[in-house]
Each structure stands twice: as C-alpha cells, then as structure tokens.
Amino acid sequence: MAAMLKLSLSYLSKNKTQNLFITLLILLSTLLVSTAVIILANTGNLFNEMHTRTNGSHQILTFDKGLNDPKAVYDWWAEQDGVEVSPLLTYRTLSGIAFKGMDIPNLYLYMMNTPQPPWAVDELIFSSGAQSSAPEKGSVWIPTSMANAYDIAVGDTVNFKTGSSALDLRVSAIVVDVPYGAPFTNAARIWMNSTDYQNDFQALAGKDNYMMGIHFDDYRTNSSYWDRYNSETHTPFLETKMEFESISSFYLIINQIIGFIMIFLGAVMMVIALITIGFTISDAILANYKTIGILKSLGLTSGRTIGTYVIQYALLSIIAVIPGLALSVFVSKFIINISVSSLRTGNGDVPMEGIGAAMLVGILLFALVILFVVLYAKKARSIEPVQAIRYGMSETENTRLARRMNSPLANRVGFARLPVAAVIGIRNLIKNTKSSVLMLLLTTMAASVLVLGYVVLTSITGIYQTAAKWGYDNANIAAVVVNKSTFPKDELKLVLEEDPRIKNVGWQGNITGVVTPESSAKMAGQSTSLYLSVLDGNYKELGFETLRGTNPERENEISIGVGVARMLNKDLGDLIDLYIEGEQRTFMITGVYQAISNLSVSGRITVDAVRSVNPNYEDVNVAFINVNDPSQAETIAQQLNEQFKDSASIVTQKTLLDSVYAEAASIFVYPMALIGLLFILVTFIIIFSTCRISIRKESKTYGIYKSIGMTSGKIRFSIATGVVALALIGSMLGVIVGVYLLPLLLEKVLSGYGIVQIPLILNWGGIIIFACLSILAAALGSWVSSRVIRDASPRILVVE
C-alpha cells in the first residue's frame, strides 16, 4: 500500500499542470451537470409552492362579454363541494402607463376594486411595502412582474392612462399575484382602493366587468364539474376561461429551456471528461510503459499498478467534485432567482430544492471516474517487462504504430511535397488518432454550444424580424386603444386614408370562442375557451403567417393554433363548431399556425364571421398599420401618437415586442454565457492535456528536430497548426450542429408552449465569429502545452 501511495503521489507531483487541468475539468463537469439538475428540480417546485401557499386558481373566469350572468355563475360554483372560489372581483381595463417620463404602451391592465379579506383563493403575498387589508387612498398594489420589468419600487408614482385624463397613483406595495404575475406577459392586475375605484371610474364611459378564480381540491376532476355545470344550467360557459396550463406556462418556460440545454450539454461534457480521463490514463501508461515494466519485473503486481491510478484520480476527483457541488448551488441559485424573480418575496432568495439530487450527481460522477480509471488502467495488466524495456510499448502496439505511419492515408498526404511545419503537424494528428478524434469532437461541441447560444439570443432580441413566425402580425406600426369609449376610430381612419405614406391598415379586436364537449371526444366533458383574433382587413397583407394552409378570408373560415389542433385532433379541411357571442357557428379550418401567446390555444376569424352574429360589432383593440417606407415608421408613429395620445398609444411593432422579450433575453444571456465559457475553458484544458501527453511521448523526436537546427518556435507552430486545422473542421461541423440539430431539441421543449418550429435568425457573421472561439481555445491550448519544447534542451529531450 505504501508503494502504491508513493507512486500515486509521484505521478501527481510529476505532472502538476496536467493534473491541475484534469481536476478543473472534473470540477466544471460537476458544476454544469449539478447546476442543471438543481434548475430542473426547481423548475416546477417554486411555482407549485407559491401556488399552494396562495391557494391559487386552477381556472380564471372573466366576464367581459355579457353572455353569462356573473352572479349566477359565481353562486353555482360557490355551492360545489371540493371547490373554492375567490370573491367576485370587479374591474375595469386600461392600456399602457407612463413612468419616469417613459411611455409604456404594451401593458394590458385590470384595474381591480380590491375586496375586503379574507380571500379563499388567490391570496396576495406581499413582496415589499406595508401589508394591509386594502391599498390606502391614492395608492395601488402592483404585481412583482410589472415591478421587475420596469424597475418600479414602493413609493414611486405611476401614471395610468384613462383617455384624455391621467390617473396618478402611488405604489404602496408590490405583491405576488400568481394568476397575472408571470414574467414576459403584458397583462397585470392593479389593486386599487375601493373608494378610489368608485371615484376615478365613475365619470369614465364603459361598465364594470367581473372575474373569479376557481381552486379545485383535485384539478383532475375539473371536467366532471364542468359537465355537471352544462347539464344543470342548460347552457355552456361562453365567457373567457383561463386554464391552469396558461397560468403556469410563462413561469416555467425559461427554466425548462435553460435546464434542458444545461442537462444535455452537461451530460455531453461529462462524457467528454470521462473519455479524456481515460485517454490520459491510457497515454500515461504508454508514456511510462518502460518504467511500469521495470517495476513489474521488481515484483509490483498488476492490481497494485492499477491501484496507483485509482488512488491518483480518486484524490483529484474528491478535490474537484466537492467545490463543483458547492459552486453549482450558488450558480443555480443565481439563475433561478433571476428567472423566477416574480415569485420572490422581499430581498431574500427563493427556497432551493434539489441539493440532494445534485449530491447524488457528484457521487455518480466520482464513481464514473473511478470506473473509467479501472477500465483504462487495466491495460497495465498486459505489460510484459521485456517488451516494455525493449520497445517502450507492447510489440503489438509498436507494429500497429508503424503500420499507421506507413498507411495509404499517410502516404496519400504526400509528406515529401509538404512544408516541414505541415508535415510535423499532420504527423502528430495521424500518430495520435484517439486524441485527434477527441479534439475534433470537443471543438465540434464547443462551437455548436457557442453558436446555439448566439443564435437563440439573436432570435429573441431580434424577434421583431420574425414576429409573424411567433404568431404575431408583421405590421410596421400598432395603434393600441387605451380607452375604447373615447377612441375616435372614424377620425383615425380618415387620417390614415389621407396620408400618402400609409400603405394599408387592418383593425383587430378579440372575442372568446367556446368549443363545446360535443365538438371532440378528447375534451372529456368540458367546454374550452379559445382566444379568437377578429380582423377587419387582410391577414396576409398584415403579415400573419401559418404553418400549413392559409388564413381565413371568408365568413365561415378559421385558422387555428397548433394547441387547438392538438387538443381537438383537427386539421386542414375539418369543421369546428364554436359559440361566438352566444350563438353557435360552424367553421372550416383553412390554416394551422403557431403562437407563443395563449399556448397556441387560439384562432383567427374575419370580422364578417362576428358580424353574422352581431351586425354592430366594432370592438377594436388595435389598428395595424403598414407604411410604404419602413424607415419612416418611427417618425409616422410619433406623429400619430401625438395626435391621438388621449385615447390610443401608437408605436412601432419593434417597441411593443421589445417591451415583452427584452426581459427574456436578459435572463437567458447569463446561463448561455456560463455554458459557453465553460466549454471554451474545457476545450483549452483537454487540448492542453492531450497535446502535452503526445509531446511527452514524442519528446525524443522533437529533441532530434532541435538538434538538427529546427527552432522551438517552429516546432511549436507546427503542432499548433495541425491542431488548428483539426479545430477548423470541428468548428464547421459545430456550426451545422448548433444551427440545424440542437434547435430540434429546443423545439421538443417549446412545442408544449405553442411553438413547434423555432423561428431562428441566422446572422452568419456572428455565427462564424462565435464558432471561431473554439478554434482560438484549441490554438491557445496546443501552444501553451508545447512550452516544454521551448524550455528543454535537445539533449534532455532525447534522454527523456
């Protein structure tokens, strides 16, 4: 045992730099995999914990169409066993705010008349500010999502747009409002003092609307309740119903994407780390072949020879795994705190789970390292002392190496016709095929990860360029109605018609369509609400796209989201029955599209379809405007906004999308930057290690080169040139993997959120730059590893 320990320590002290890098490699593998496990473990737990804590809604019923009696619906649900309901909440809607001189148009606000506690469902949790039963006069409570997105703090005054007048209210508290507090959404509930609500909205045109939340003791039974509701009331629920899946989706989407990417790439890194350790041991045995043979001739058994490597890497693994686990807790906590900031209360961190799972990952990684050490170190069993002393390797290996160097591939390269530097670099790659394959695989993965991160971030930050593929319009300007009762639609129409800069205009409203249980056997006895876009205009002209088929043009046509198609098992040419404005209509499906909003549980119909039920329908939410010269869009939007600012907010489409997706991009950049940096570092480490091993094996050859007049710089340049050439091939393969293959894995995650084909923006200049980072890491690793050639004399190299 003493001899084994002494040999192990000698190996550790002899190759300090290489062992340091191996330790760092194990640490980084542990860090990435453990971080991914913790993030995945907390993906749903944090939301579920807060949902349970607030006794959150499983469904939200919104009464804004006048098609169901709110009081009657509330009374029916309040009488059911196994169900709890919130108070019947009164609200008015507003659009947009102004804060610190900044106009924020893309906010759809429910101005709530705060009822007196206690609440059975959707209890508000105070994140900051003094807790009280209701907001003080002149103040409001706002959700954490809105506060985080626009950096609003307690004590700030927010200007709420009410048409020609403005409503200035002070923020007295920031609350966690689970149903309407998810990140990346543009809807928020603003909780007002009851007296303020009555006074501020008394003079405004319009009427009060209502909403209520339903919490089921067992959410899986909700279909049976709705089946009984339909049979007892003899009418389906025709208003808007928001499902639990929609409530939870935006809380979970970022963490699921990040966790999915990290666990996949972490597993890849772990495999690469284990293979690298195996190669290191294999090459170390080969480099010390003669020494091992001498030791075996002196009586050291094969088992003890293997034990020396086990002890060596067990020590390195312990040193690496423990800090890796500790760092993973801090890194995952940082990422989770950012991605679920809307669930945080106060300045404290969100509670963490998954630490035990991360520790199991560390133990598993340690066990895998030992297993690979044993598997690769078993090669020491076959070492024959005589062959080791004579060849410095087995006779079989010596013959195989000679054949490889004289193989048709080596001859086809034409060494005699190439410069000396190229010959040395290529010879190094051919002679060390396993190391070359590892470097090729590593640079491919590193480039693919860097390219994927760049492409995803570019696609999110530039979403306005692919808005139609995410389910939005592609118009240049949007006029968002702030106050429907005072909005001068005819006046804006006239202005747009007379302006020669305007190309075309479309007017959009939205209604709720209700699919009855009879429409599909998959609906399990309950009606389902669809968000229906109603367009007075041409969908094609305004840039709405479909995956298959076309958008509706006639009264009896509809295009549906992929969520609806999946839920109802419908496709092009099928018929679908919908209740619109209380009356049933049959539509033919002409198109299927994807949309990240509403999980693609939505549809598109023409205004004529609604007017067949309600001839006076003029419920406009937004006007989409295309201009002849897109470069003038910002100027035209500013001019129109100044003219109609009392009742509408008119901005470019880019402004609207940036207000939602800039937050997502800022959250996503941190984990992707971490993964990219780790892979660059791992590329450097592994290539340094493999090159260092091959240089030591070839030390005698390089000593001869120096003795006949080659400079150290030229030899090092030759080695680096070969590695760079290999890394160039790897980076090209990495571009293909990062652009075309890895996004397919992301689509598996996003398909549940309504996106089945990720709309990527491919900026090839940036892609090439990021792919080249792996080449730079490879070149640096090979160059630094060859310092031993510069520092050693030809005599010492030959002796070694």
Contact 662, 461 (CB under 8 A): yes
Helices 433-461 & 764-785 angle (0-180, nearest 10)? 150
The closest of 154, 173, 150, 152 to 104, measured between CA atoms, is: 150
Instruction: Please give the share of the chain, as a percent, with pLDDT higher than 90.
Output: 23
- pLDDT of residue 391 exceeding 50, the answer is no
pLDDT of residue 455: 92
Q: What is the DSSP letter of 672?
A: H
SS3 at position 228: helix
Distance CA 480, CA 472 (A): 14
| Higher-pLDDT residue of 285, 693 | 693
- pLDDT of residue 141 exceeding 90, the answer is yes
- pLDDT of residue 798 exceeding 60, the answer is no
- Note the pLDDT tens digit of each residue in 594-609: 998 888 889 999 999 9
- Note the pLDDT tens digit of each residue in 74-124: 999 999 999 999 999 999 888 778 888 777 777 888 999 999 888 889 999
| Other C-beta atoms lying within 10 Å of the C-beta of residue 334 | 15
Residue with tokens 């169900």: 83
Q: What is the mean pLDDT of residues 238-245?
A: 82
| Other C-beta atoms lying within 10 Å of the C-beta of residue 706 | 21
- Note the pLDDT tens digit of each residue in 644-661: 877 777 888 888 787 777
How sure is the predictor about 582, in pLDDT bands with cuts at 50, 70 and 90?
A: confident
Contact 499, 635 (CB under 8 A): no
> Which residues fall within 8 angstroms of residue 331, CB to CB, at 6 or more apart?
31, 35, 674
How sure is the predictor about 386, in pLDDT bands with cuts at 50, 70 and 90?
A: very low
- pLDDT of residue 699 exceeding 50, the answer is yes
How sure is the predictor about 701, in pLDDT bands with cuts at 50, 70 and 90?
A: confident
What are the φ/ψ torsions at residue 757 (nearest 5 degrees)? -135, 110
Bridging pattern class, strands 557-561 and 583-593? parallel
Distance CA 344, CA 144 (A): 8
DSSP string, 452-508: HHHHHHHHHHTGGGSGGGGT----SEEEEES-TTT--HHHHHHHHHH-TTEEEEEEE
> Which residues fall within 8 angstroms of residue 256, CB to CB, at 6 or more apart?
40, 43, 749
Contact 534, 644 (CB under 8 A): no
| Higher-pLDDT residue of 503, 697 | 503
pLDDT of residue 795: 58
Q: C-alpha distances in angstroms, 582 versus 470, 513, 515, 575, 650? A: 30, 9, 12, 19, 33
- pLDDT of residue 584 exceeding 50, the answer is yes
| Higher-pLDDT residue of 54, 24 | 54
The closest of 418, 412, 275 to 722, measured between CA atoms, is: 418
The closest of 517, 469, 530, 467 to 661, measured between CA atoms, is: 467
> Which residues fall within 8 angstroms of residue 390, CB to CB, at 6 or more apart?
none
- Note the pLDDT tens digit of each residue in 170-224: 999 999 998 988 877 778 899 999 998 988 887 666 688 899 999 999 888 887 8
Instruction: Please give the share of the chain, as a percent, with pLDDT higher than 70.
Output: 84
pLDDT of residue 12: 63
Q: What is the mean pLDDT of residues 368-397?
A: 61
pLDDT of residue 393: 47
pLDDT of residue 83: 93
Distance CA 337, CA 505 (A): 43
SS3 at position 536: strand
Helices 244-287 & 433-461 angle (0-180, nearest 10)? 160
Q: What is the mean pLDDT of residues 531-552?
A: 92
Burial of 123 (0-12, 13-18, 19+ CB in 10 A): middle
Q: C-alpha distances in angstroms, 708 versus 421, 426, 658, 712, 792? A: 15, 20, 64, 12, 15
Distance CA 568, CA 522 (A): 6
pLDDT of residue 316: 85
pLDDT of residue 166: 73
- pLDDT of residue 522 exceeding 70, the answer is no
The closest of 378, 677, 345, 643 to 487, measured between CA atoms, is: 643
The closest of 676, 677, 716 to 695, measured between CA atoms, is: 716
Counting every residue, how long is the chain? Answer: 800
Helices 433-461 & 420-431 angle (0-180, nearest 10)? 100
What are the φ/ψ torsions at residue 483 (nearest 5 degrees)? -130, 105
Distance CA 437, CA 50 (A): 49
| Other C-beta atoms lying within 10 Å of the C-beta of residue 531 | 22
How sure is the predictor about 583, in pLDDT bands with cuts at 50, 70 and 90?
A: confident
End-to-end alpha carbon distance in the chain = 28
How sure is the predictor about 13, in pLDDT bands with cuts at 50, 70 and 90?
A: low
How sure is the predictor about 535, in pLDDT bands with cuts at 50, 70 and 90?
A: very high
Average pLDDT, the chain: 81
How sure is the predictor about 269, in pLDDT bands with cuts at 50, 70 and 90?
A: confident
Best-predicted range by mean pLDDT (250-259, 698-707, 761-770): 761-770
Distance CA 111, CA 584 (A): 32
pLDDT of residue 212: 94
Q: Which residues pair with 171 in a beta bridge?
A: 140
pLDDT of residue 415: 52
- pLDDT of residue 335 exceeding 50, the answer is yes
pLDDT of residue 349: 58
pLDDT of residue 387: 46
SS3 at position 354: coil
- Note the pLDDT tens digit of each residue in 742-787: 888 888 878 888 889 989 999 999 999 999 999 999 999 888 888 8
- Note the pLDDT tens digit of each residue in 421-455: 666 767 767 777 777 888 888 899 889 989 988 99
Q: C-alpha distances in angstroms, 628 versus 348, 479, 499, 636? A: 51, 17, 11, 11
Distance CA 60, CA 199 (A): 27
Q: What is the mean pLDDT of residues 521-535?
A: 71
Distance CA 337, CA 269 (A): 25
Q: Where are the domains of the chain?
A: 1-53+251-392, 54-249, 407-466+661-800, 467-660
pLDDT of residue 407: 53
Strand residues in 114-218 grouped as ranges (E): 125-129, 139-143, 157-161, 166-176, 187-192, 209-216
Two tokens, residue 526: 């309950």
Distance CA 568, CA 557 (A): 17
What are the φ/ψ torsions at residue 515 (nearest 5 degrees)? -95, 125
| Higher-pLDDT residue of 287, 50 | 50
Q: C-alpha distances in angstroms, 42 versus 129, 358, 793? A: 27, 12, 56
Distance CA 465, CA 477 (A): 13
Torsion sign (Cα): 229, 231, 233, 235: positive
Least confident of 211-225, 245-259, 521-535, 688-702: 521-535
The closest of 310, 480, 475 to 380, measured between CA atoms, is: 310
Q: C-alpha distances in angstroms, 304 versus 299, 473, 556? A: 10, 70, 82
Q: What is the DSSP letter of 691?
A: H
